[in-house]
Amino acid sequence: MRIYGGEHPNQQILSRIATNDGHGENSSYFDGWKAYENDPFHLTGNPKGVIQMGLAENQLSLDLIQDWLKKNPQASICTGEGVSEFEAIANFQDYHGLPAFRKAIAQFMEKVRGGRARFDPDRIVMSGGATGAQETIAFCLADPGEAFLIPTPYYPGFDRDFRWRTGVQLLPIHCHSSNKFKITQAALETAYRKARNSHVRVKGILVTNPSNPLGTTMDRETLRTLVSFVNEKRMHLVCDEIFSGTVFDKPRYVSVSEVIEDDPYCDRDLIHIAYSLSKDLGVPGFRVGVIYSYNDAVVSCARKMSSFGLVSTQTQHLLASMLGDEEFTTSFLATSRTRLCRRRRVFTEGLKRVGIHCLDGNAGLFCWMDLRPLLKEATVEAELRLWRVIINDVKLNISPGSSFHCSEPGWFRVCFANMDDTAMQIALSRIKKFVYRENDAAVQAKNKRRWDDALRLSLPRRFEDPTIMTPHLMSPHSPLVQAAT
Amino acid sequence: MRIYGGEHPNQQILSRIATNDGHGENSSYFDGWKAYENDPFHLTGNPKGVIQMGLAENQLSLDLIQDWLKKNPQASICTGEGVSEFEAIANFQDYHGLPAFRKAIAQFMEKVRGGRARFDPDRIVMSGGATGAQETIAFCLADPGEAFLIPTPYYPGFDRDFRWRTGVQLLPIHCHSSNKFKITQAALETAYRKARNSHVRVKGILVTNPSNPLGTTMDRETLRTLVSFVNEKRMHLVCDEIFSGTVFDKPRYVSVSEVIEDDPYCDRDLIHIAYSLSKDLGVPGFRVGVIYSYNDAVVSCARKMSSFGLVSTQTQHLLASMLGDEEFTTSFLATSRTRLCRRRRVFTEGLKRVGIHCLDGNAGLFCWMDLRPLLKEATVEAELRLWRVIINDVKLNISPGSSFHCSEPGWFRVCFANMDDTAMQIALSRIKKFVYRENDAAVQAKNKRRWDDALRLSLPRRFEDPTIMTPHLMSPHSPLVQAAT
């Protein structure tokens, strides 16, 4: 028995934000994670479990950091060698951050970009990971209802990070496989015009470079197009460069910071970079996000907002030492890139052997896998049907392109750096088995359809063409597929 | 020369949030910090500098943590003993947090409240300090334009934390010194009615218990009044309990969690607690904030929002061990309370000797000092004039009551736990000198006024009465004041 009031649904007492789905976690991107969590693969403990390939995590070089820690106990406030700093560090709460940390981050950002751009430590603003960086930038640059343009496919987390609590919209710039998903001036203009026609004020463009999910880097010409466009239209360019340290192959990385240093006419007040150590170092647990803005007012405002997501000073202090060690960072970046390059090569070559192709990529912790030939029809529904089979039967959590707002069904993001070699080989062999099974089914279906067709010649055949399901390279005669069966 | 556009003020390209003053950092509360930063006191390096008494920081017991760290190297991922955990911890990014961390926090919250309330680890949601906790709660509970009632005086940071980016309003419940600033049913009703008359929807009440800035705890009766009120009106009660571990004297602490455990009729969906380790442990740099809600939907939503301000796993891992050590936490809390109690006693007794009184307090890292007798008139302007003298001449950064939205001019918050004994004694001696000088000036002014009065008897005398400036206890004959001169 209650003496106060009666039944009152939360809808009436909570906020709209708390009762809507704006966080985006009901998308298939996050559903895949749940499937993994319910049945996680473990080599000995659960060898038939779901292998997590939906998480862009970099586990390939953590041993290097571990070695460094062993050799540098003074870097931590929790060791006999460093504990005398404990009081000063635990108490430090200035939102400018430890000066040594800001300096080390700026230095590391320069190193990652090959020394071709300079970063001023006083413009380094902390945030709770890249997640916090994106939200802070959105709060600084746009009012609720205003929009940013964003090329598709794009990272699903942006729907939460950039939009959820800020009320800012993200409007797609549709990109296509025909030109390897490059942003063109025409696509930009179309997206912009469409927004204007709907009376939405466009405040900027948000891009990831290197691209998540494509695993590609942007060429200088595209960056110049973007810089010109935002200058002409008086809007912002936000470049998420959180994978910049993962560029492991040619063409070499070009950051927006390099492009604007070459462009005396660019209004730098419009240019902002989001950065993080989660991907490049592989320490997402440490929650180190960075906003680097060339606009003084944004630096000042973002710094005030950083109160909501400061980096723990325990972590700042450690990283100040580690990233300040130039010898270590040089060697770490080189080794990490070599290992990522090798991992991607082994993985994509394994896929190729069963006829699966990925978009050419030179960066990131994932590849953009083309399963269009396996779709029964070129629709999102068919993509999601295939995805459910891959999750539930093949037991791989990969992420469907539709969750990245990709406009072409059949692409999937597959992460390859969050596991060891053995797990990756098991994932490859599962894919091979699956392709073999699909091919087999396709051959049977083809025979069956021939028989059916003889009876019912008038059936529409467009999406039943067995060649759509059986690309010429996806042959059961591939030696590796045979070995795996 | 620019080829793109012309002059474009940031006002047009940034958000309203970025171009308004909603962060509240232009208040005198933060101005005092700036004065300190420009000329910080140092015993040997800058003995005439400003002593920081505007920062509610607990530096009295950090030596205990430091000792614990020396004895527990395995608790850190940066020691030889603990580094084998590095990879797993650095990579962990689940926003539920490390299970051991959640459990240890719940256990610590129970201990702080004398075991009289239970906390479920699954309701512990992380945030970037109490700052992030308050914002998250506001985002979950209210839409822009909706309001929370808040008793005055209140912590100025709430204007940033609770309002700035959420658009939620804070409306005062005016409290007065006549009943030691207690919240009454009448004051609650008045504030509520006033909001309703202005067509503002009131979504809840936000209180601090122990109170910042009063340094007092709320009695059970007041808490019951609040719980009844929010149940009757179907609104939320948010209790900021970040100073709960600092209660060093009677009456013993009563948390809202204890009150609702005794109240079977309370709708727990309406009750939410903000907690942090910044004050109780003295580790604000670690950015450990907690939202503890009894409402499942709020737990779920706040957890999604915690992505913006997760605690570094390096810090989570360390604290899981430290707070899991019951022997340590028992002894830490006892010693910390003893030291705080002694520090407050020495400080307030020193003030009493020159006739300055503080509100009776039993908690917190500050006292609420009554300088009304020193005001030339009972206005905010007079309070700020006095405050500027104290900052610039006395060289103490204390915080004026008006920055806490206090409705009675002349009160000041003075922090006493962010310095060592020597600095505290120097602060006391500066105050004594100041009072002596003021008294002296008052005597001279009195003599001068007697002469003037003989000439101009018609002058208004209300605010010139020298007794307002010279309370009977504020005597130059106090032995300590003489000793200090």
Question: What is the predicted ipTM?
Answer: 0.89
First-to-last alpha carbon distance for chain B, in angstroms, is 64
Structure tokens at A225: 């197009």
Quick check: B358 and B348 in contact, CB under 8 A? yes
Nearest 5 degrees, angle CA B240-CA B243-CA B249? Answer: 130
Structure tokens at A231: 């200058």
- Interface with B, mutate which of A1, A13, A232 (most B CBs under 10 A): A13
Statement: residue B460 has pLDDT above 90: no
Neighbours of A464 (CB within 10 A): 16
Partners of B236 on chain A (C-beta within 8 Å) are: 13
Q: State the catalytic residue, choosing from B77, B105, B242, B391.
A: B242
Record: contact A297-B92, CB cut-off 8 A = no
- Interface with B, mutate which of A1, A2, A3, A4 (most B CBs under 10 A): A4
Taking CA–CA distances from B302, the nearest residue in chain A reads A18
Angle between helix axes B62-71 and B326-353 (nearest 10 degrees) is 160
Partners of A304 on chain B (C-beta within 8 Å) are: 23, 25, 160
Nearest 5 degrees, angle CA B373-CA B378-CA B383? Answer: 80
Partners of B139 on chain A (C-beta within 8 Å) are: 15, 17-18, 165
Indicate the residue of B91, B283, B297 with minimum beta-carbon distance to A14: B297
CA distances from A404 to A80, A272, A401, A408, B216 (A): 47, 23, 5, 11, 52
Q: State the catalytic residue, choosing from B159, B161, B240, B370.
A: B240
A279 is catalytic: yes
A161 is catalytic: no
Burial annotation B150-160 (CB, 10 A radius, 16+ → b, else e): bbbbbbbbbbb
Query: In the beta sheet, which residues pair with residue B46?
Result: B42
Taking CA–CA distances from B265, the nearest residue in chain A reads A2
pLDDT one-digit tens code per residue, B288-336: 999 999 999 999 999 999 999 999 999 999 999 999 999 999 999 999 9
Burial annotation B249-261 (CB, 10 A radius, 16+ → b, else e): eeeebbbbbbbbe
Half-sphere exposure of residue B202: CA atoms within 13 angstroms, side-chain side: 28
Structure tokens at A472: 């010429």
Share of chain A above pLDDT 90, in %: 82
Partners of B283 on chain A (C-beta within 8 Å) are: 90-91
B192 is catalytic: no
Neighbours of A482 (CB within 10 A): 11
pLDDT one-digit tens code per residue, B15-44: 999 998 888 887 777 777 888 889 999 999
Mean pLDDT of chain B: 90
Cα distance between residue A224 and residue A244, in whole Å = 18
pLDDT one-digit tens code per residue, B373-428: 999 999 999 999 999 999 999 999 999 999 999 999 999 999 999 999 999 999 99
Cα distance between residue B217 and residue B225, in whole Å = 15
Length of chain B: 485
Structure tokens at B435: 């009072």
- Interface with B, mutate which of A72, A146, A312 (most B CBs under 10 A): A312
Residue B399's H or E segment, with its range, is strand B399-400
Dihedral sign (CA B317, B320, B325, B328): positive
Share of chain A above pLDDT 70, in %: 90
Q: How do A411-415 and A399-400 pair as beta strands? A: antiparallel
Look at residue B451 in the predicted model and tell me its pLDDT: 62
Cα distance between residue A338 and residue A191, in whole Å = 38
Record: contact A285-B91, CB cut-off 8 A = yes
DSSP B342-353: HHHHHHHHHHHH
Record: contact A62-B90, CB cut-off 8 A = yes
Dihedral sign (CA B158, B162, B166, B167): negative
Partners of A305 on chain B (C-beta within 8 Å) are: 165
B4 is catalytic: no
Record: contact B13-A140, CB cut-off 8 A = no
The count of CB pairs under 8 A between chains A and B is 279
Q: State the catalytic residue, choosing from B29, B154, B155, B253.
A: B155
Statement: residue B442 has pLDDT above 90: no
- Amino acid occupying residue A60: L
Cα distance between residue B119 and residue B122, in whole Å = 9
Statement: residue B351 has pLDDT above 70: yes
Mean pLDDT of chain A: 90
- Interface with B, mutate which of A314, A318, A419, A420 (most B CBs under 10 A): A314
Record: contact B308-A231, CB cut-off 8 A = no
Burial class (CB in 10 A: 0-12, 13-18, 19+), A39: middle
Tell me the H-state helices in A24-156: 28-38, 62-71, 86-91, 99-112, 129-141
Neighbours of A210 (CB within 10 A): 25
Poorest-pLDDT segment among A459-473, B63-77, B269-283? A459-473
Max Cα distance, chain A (Å)? 86
Q: State the catalytic residue, choosing from A31, A159, A161, A240.
A: A240
Indicate the residue of B269, B304, B314 with minimum beta-carbon distance to A25: B304
B248-251: list long-range contacts, CB under 8 Å, 24+ apart: B248/B337, B248/B338, B248/B340, B248/B341, B248/B344, B248/B362, B248/B363, B249/B341, B249/B362, B249/B363, B250/B362, B251/B217, B251/B219, B251/B362
pLDDT one-digit tens code per residue, A9-38: 565 899 999 998 888 887 777 777 788 889
Indicate the residue of B5, B146, B287 with minimum beta-carbon distance to A234: B5
Q: What is the mean pLDDT of residues B70-86?
A: 92
Residue B482's pLDDT band, with cuts at 50, 70 and 90, is very low
Cα distance between residue A192 and residue B142, in whole Å = 33
Record: contact A86-B79, CB cut-off 8 A = no
Q: State the catalytic residue, choosing from B279, B356, B390, B431.
A: B279
Statement: residue A470 has pLDDT above 70: no
Closest CA to B322 of B114, B121, B71, B96: B71
Look at residue B9 in the predicted model and tell me its pLDDT: 57
Q: How do A124-128 and A51-52 pair as beta strands? A: unpaired
Taking CA–CA distances from B135, the nearest residue in chain A reads A308
Record: contact B62-A86, CB cut-off 8 A = yes
- Say which residue the tokens 């269009």 belong to: A372
Structure tokens at B30: 């933060």
Q: State the catalytic residue, choosing from A51, A105, A205, A242.
A: A242
Look at residue B483 in the predicted model and tell me its pLDDT: 34
Statement: residue B472 has pLDDT above 50: no
Provide, for chain B, the percentages of residues in helix, strand and coil under a 3-state DSSP scheme, each rounded to the nearest 5: 50, 15, 35
Partners of B165 on chain A (C-beta within 8 Å) are: 139, 165, 305, 308
Dihedral sign (CA B370, B375, B380, B384): negative
Cα distance between residue A284 and residue B254, in whole Å = 38
CA distances from A215 to A23, A130, A157, A244 (A): 25, 18, 16, 11
Residue B8's pLDDT band, with cuts at 50, 70 and 90, is low
Burial class (CB in 10 A: 0-12, 13-18, 19+), A51: buried
Partners of B8 on chain A (C-beta within 8 Å) are: 234, 267
Indicate the residue of A236, A307, A312 with minimum beta-carbon distance to B285: A312
To the nearest whole Å, the CA of A85 is away from the closest chain B CA by 9
Poorest-pLDDT segment among A80-89, A240-249, B379-388? A80-89
Partners of A23 on chain B (C-beta within 8 Å) are: 301, 304
Look at residue A3 in the predicted model and tell me its pLDDT: 43
Query: In the beta sheet, which residues pair with residue B171?
Result: B149
Quick check: B375 and B334 in contact, CB under 8 A? no
Length of chain A: 485
Q: State the catalytic residue, choosing from A233, A279, A395, A432.
A: A279
- Interface with A, mutate which of B155, B287, B306, B319 (most A CBs under 10 A): B287
Look at residue A32 in the predicted model and tell me its pLDDT: 79
Look at residue B446 in the predicted model and tell me its pLDDT: 76
Query: In the beta sheet, which residues pair with residue B314?
Result: none
Cβ neighbours of residue A397 under 8 Å, at least 6 residues apart? A32, A33, A35, A36, A50, A51, A52, A53, A54, A391
Quick check: A481 and A354 in contact, CB under 8 A? yes
pLDDT one-digit tens code per residue, B94-126: 999 999 999 999 999 999 999 999 999 999 999
Indicate the residue of B8, B19, B311 with minimum beta-carbon distance to A312: B311
Taking CA–CA distances from B278, the nearest residue in chain A reads A91
